[in-house]
């Protein structure tokens, strides 16, 4: 074996970890989990609404702290179809499935999420969709199961 030949060891590695979201994201996920509400954060200077929330406005650099309700309905602005299975235990859906950027009503930025209840060949830019929430929510982005056609 030469030094530039990769050495591959088959197996699985379990790495337990905790993810700390911070104050803004924690509130965002709490609202998803407890109330099935999608919240944005609004800039007091330029009125731009961000989803998911952030602490600083990308347009005017203002500090963001005003929470606003955004709709659970929106428009697909772009999407992709996933055909490749890389690890069945880690994929959110069976292939093929779609992932898109959803411009929620009353928000100025898009949210990347799964598209469901439609065949991939029926998805189009501009189509209207709505969030479908899981029954058992845990306080993360997958509390929104997917977005389906309106």
Q: Which residues of the chain have pLDDT under 70?
A: 1-3, 13-15, 17-20, 87-89
CA–CA distance, 19 with 21 (Å, rounded to integer): 6
Count Cβ atoms within 10 A of the Cβ of residue 53 and give its class: 0-12 exposed, 13-18 middle, 19 or more buried: buried
With 0.75 as the threshold, say if the pTM is over it: yes
pLDDT at res. 102: 98
In degrees and rounded to multiples of 5, residue 96 shows phi and psi of -80, 145
């Amino acid at each position: 074996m030469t030094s530039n030949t990769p050495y591959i060891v088959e197996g699985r590695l379990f790495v337990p970890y905790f993810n700390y979201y911070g104050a803004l994201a924690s509130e965002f996920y709490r609202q998803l989990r407890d109330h099935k509400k999608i919240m944005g954060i609004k800039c007091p200077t330029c009125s731009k609404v961000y989803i998911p929330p952030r602490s600083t406005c990308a347009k005017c650099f203002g500090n963001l702290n005003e929470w606003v309700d955004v709709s659970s309905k929106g428009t697909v602005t772009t999407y992709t179809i996933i055909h490749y299975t890389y690890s069945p235990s880690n994929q959110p859906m069976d292939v093929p499935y779609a992932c898109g950027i959803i411009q929620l009503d009353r928000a100025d930025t898009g949210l990347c999420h799964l598209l469901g209840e439609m065949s991939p060949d029926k998805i189009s830019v501009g189509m209207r969709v709505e969030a479908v929430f899981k029954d058992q929510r845990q306080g993360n982005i997958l509390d929104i199961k997917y977005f389906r056609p309106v």
